[in-house]
Amino acid sequence: MASKSPSSSNNRLVQWLALALLIIVADQFTKVLILHSFQYGDSHYVLPFFNLVRVHNTGAAFSFLAGASGWQRWFFVALGVAATIFIVWMLRRHGHQTQFALALSLILGGAVGNVVDRLLHGYVVDFIQLHWAGWYYPSFNIADCAITVGAILLIWDELRRVKRG
């Protein structure tokens, strides 16, 4: 197997980091729009199953630890920084594996997007609300979407790898 040249590896890393940056910018841009257009708790109907809302999540996914006394903000920031370091290291080593690196880039962009919120506001701004027949899914944002798609791609990549092996 031929080794990758350093410039090729660096170009791939830059490509994957640029994708993560695109996710961060899109996430922060949409959150700024919501913060400037909505008051906390506002909800605007868009479709029969979709509202735009403004909610603040001091916890993690599904408001996990949202009721804690404030320490969770710094815990999730530290977790996000650790994940960022690990993902960048993985991208440097495996940037040539397209689906794997794509998944990591989406997760990286989403994680950093939510860390930025925690640092700026002390909470994550969520604004996408899906609902049906009186049931409401917990609100989320672009960063959460990127993390979810990235996680699905990671699982799919691993299943393909196991099937090949």
Query: Is-contact 57 124, C-beta < 8 A?
Result: yes
The pLDDT of 48-74, averaged and rounded, is: 76
Quick one: pLDDT at residue 58? 79
Q: Which residues are catalytic?
A: 126, 144
Quick one: pLDDT at residue 99? 96
Please provide the average confidence, as pLDDT, over all residues in the chain: 90
Q: Is residue 137 predicted with pLDDT exceeding 70?
A: yes
C-alpha neighbours within 13 Å on the C-beta side of residue 58: 10
Distances in Å between the Cα of 98 and the Cα atoms of 12, 37, 41, 103, 147 are 9, 38, 40, 9, 17
Domain ranges, ordered by start, for the chain: 12-38+45-164
For residues 117 and 143, give the distance between their C-alpha atoms in angstroms, rounded to a whole number: 10
Quick one: pLDDT at residue 74? 81
As a whole number of Å, the end-to-end CA separation of the chain is 17
Q: Is residue 12 predicted with pLDDT exceeding 90?
A: yes
For residues 62 and 66, give the distance between their C-alpha atoms in angstroms, rounded to a whole number: 9
Greater confidence (75 vs 22) lies with 22
- 70-129 pLDDT, tens per residue? 677 788 788 899 999 999 999 999 999 999 999 999 999 999 999 999 999 999 999 999
pTM, rounded to two decimals: 0.87
Quick one: pLDDT at residue 76? 79
